[in-house]
Chain A
Amino acid sequence: MADSVDQIFVHAKQWLMSPLEGHIPDCLIQIVSSLLNIAAVLGVFLTLFALMSVLERKILGRMQNRYGPNRVGPFGLFQPVADGIKMLIKEDIVPARADKVVHFMAPILIAAAAILVLGVIPYGRNMTPFVIDGGILFFFAVGSTTELAVFMAGWGSNNKFSLLGAMRAIAQMISYELPLIITVLPVVMVVGSLNPDKIVFAQESYHFGFVPHWFVLTPWGATAFILFFVSGLVESNRTPFDVPEGESEIVAGHMTEYSGFKYATFFLAEYLGMFAVSGLAVTLFLGGWHAPLPGLGFVPSYVWFFAKLSVLLFGFIWIRGTLPRIRVDHMMNFAWKFMLPMAFTCLVSAAVWHYSGRRLSGWLWSFAIIAVVYFALSLLLDARRKFTPRTYRFAE
């Protein structure tokens, strides 16, 4: 019974495909199968986007001691519908001096990249939409085209705020892409595969019968998970790293000259990117769709995946409600002086853990390595010792 509930979507797809078998050629069956997967991913994540946009405003409202949206539908749940209609009927303004083609292509490219990366994440047992051997690599390859789309938006708008925003966005995305990718490397190294399914399977059983084999429960895994989550915050341009669209400084960054549905597409891409990064974090560090305790295997695997995903998404909202925006130079220093060395330390620490037989001694050794590097870095980068009278270079 539990098994059939777990595989209900896989069976549903097989049932939908069964009338086609034998009637149409094999290559068409593959195309229909891919289209079904695409439709499922789009349906689930567009619904999640709508839910997330209203829940985020509700939770932020709760944190700031106000109600949040509560006019449209029960508890304001139909707010995304109203927002969507508003966005669709707004006038689409293209600046006269803009590069029309580039200005038009940018939102399409950014949304396409955000949707493509969702395809390689395993959502449940046998529920990976597209199984690619180098799935993790594919994720980052497609994700890196986002920078191109941001550049196109900034340059094509022919507006100084757009260009400044695009430059900030690209600078921070390139800087934080390094820690993002390097924190994935220890997991890839320990599992020995770039395939997301194999990474999930490697975290399957339990220590002592109840502690799951998730990588987040090892010292290097916990460090890598935190670094990955922070880099993910930057990559999806969320507070406290939303410098590219800092309203108080540069209007809305690369989205300044976009209005109506094109602006909504950027908004959508930002949220889909957030889902993708959280989904990858769940896959890599939080055991994918595995249950946290051995007795809970009867709950379908996709429920566990989306439960973990929503915990991470709540983290995103919580951070947005708590932290102020960080300064650009501080953010860059943080990436290059702290995140990158820590990411490399995770790599070394994971190797020590792996080659000492994945036992308690290895656990302690890898913890010691990370602790030493962390305290060394915090001593080296300590800014408190350097309080000096402030000198102004140009404003004496």
Chain B
Amino acid sequence: MMSPFLFWIFAILMLVFGAAVIINRNPVASALSLVVSFFGLAALFLSLDAYFIGVIQVLVYAGAIMVLFLFIIMLLDLRAEELRKINWIASAGGIAVALALMFQIFSVVEKFPAAKQSFPPLAKPAPDDVRQIGLLLFNNYTLPFQIIGIVILVATVGVIILSRRETR
């Protein structure tokens, strides 16, 4: 377990850079802010002793998917987004709707009795979480796991067929 102090640091880091993703006008800066946000999320997973998910978060999202995002942004050269003017009325309306929704959620949760009870402490984390995830994946959830594999394979083959059409 990590101290609450570190939890606050990473939570604030994540939220600040999550906001920066939307606020930044430069697409590359947005994408890089998203990376920092993902790193914060990975640190939060680590603080819950979910090492495997935390590491996979970095490997898949920060490593692979963000590089893909950046490549696409770079190839498309999205300058228009940077030059677009901010529509102040629309953003004020958006902020108002978001605040109203947040207020409603808070008021509902306040009245909800189950929200007031304290949760039991977490079970002691297993030292070999990688092994346990592997056992679950290959014993209880083998079929869904393989179906996901086939879906990804179909997507890969589809992309190759779509991108090779010109050459015929």
Task: Verify if B51 is at the interface (C-beta below 8 Å from A).
Answer: yes
Which B residues are in CB contact (< 8 Å) with A102? 28-29, 32
B51 touching A133, Cβ below 8 Å: yes
Whether B13 is near chain A, meaning CB under 8 Å from some CB there, is no
Q: Which of A121-129, A141-149, A313-321 contacts B (4 or more CB under 8 A)?
A: A141-149
Q: Chain A interface mostly helix, strand, loop or mixed?
A: helix
A134-B28 contact in complex given A145-B62, A170-B67, C-beta closer than 8 Å: no
Q: Nearest Cβ distance between residue B106 and chain A, in whole angstroms?
A: 34
Contact A144 B64 (CB under 8 A): yes
User: How many chain B residues touch the partner (CB < 8 A)?
Assistant: 25
Is there an interface contact between B51 and A132, defined as CB atoms closer than 8 Å?
A: yes
Tell me the residues in window 132-167 of chain A with beta carbons closer than 8 Å to chain B beta carbons: 132-134, 137-138, 140-142, 144-145, 147-148, 151-152, 155, 163, 167
Q: Is A99's CB under 8 angstroms from B28's CB?
A: yes
Bound together, the chains give a CA A174 to CA B63 distance in angstroms of 10
Scoring A residues 41 to 84 as 1 if CB is less than 8 Å from chain B, else 0, what string do you get?
00000000000000000000000000000000000000000000
- Taking CB atoms, residues of chain A closer than 8 Å to B130 are 133-134, 137, 194
A33: interface (CB < 8 Å): no
A27 at the interface (CB under 8 A from B): yes
Q: Contacts of A147 on B, CB cut-off 8 Å?
A: 63, 67
User: Do the beta carbons of B55 and A137 come within 8 Å of each other?
Assistant: yes
Contact with A along B130-141 (1 / 0, CB 8 A): 110000000000
* B74 close to chain A: CB less than 8 A: yes
Residues of chain B contacted by A170 (CB below 8 angstroms):
67, 71
Q: Mark A319-334, 1 if CB is under 8 A from B, else 0.
A: 0000000000000000
Cβ B74 vs Cβ A144 within 8 A: no
Measured CB to CB, the closest approach of chain A to B81, in angstroms, equals 15
Instruction: Assess whether B128 is interfacial by the CB under 8 Å rule.
Output: yes
Q: Which residues of A contact B51 (CB under 8 A)?
A: 132-134
Interface residue ranges, B against A (CB under 8 Å): 3, 26, 28-29, 32, 35, 51-52, 55-56, 58-59, 62-64, 66-67, 70-71, 74, 127-131
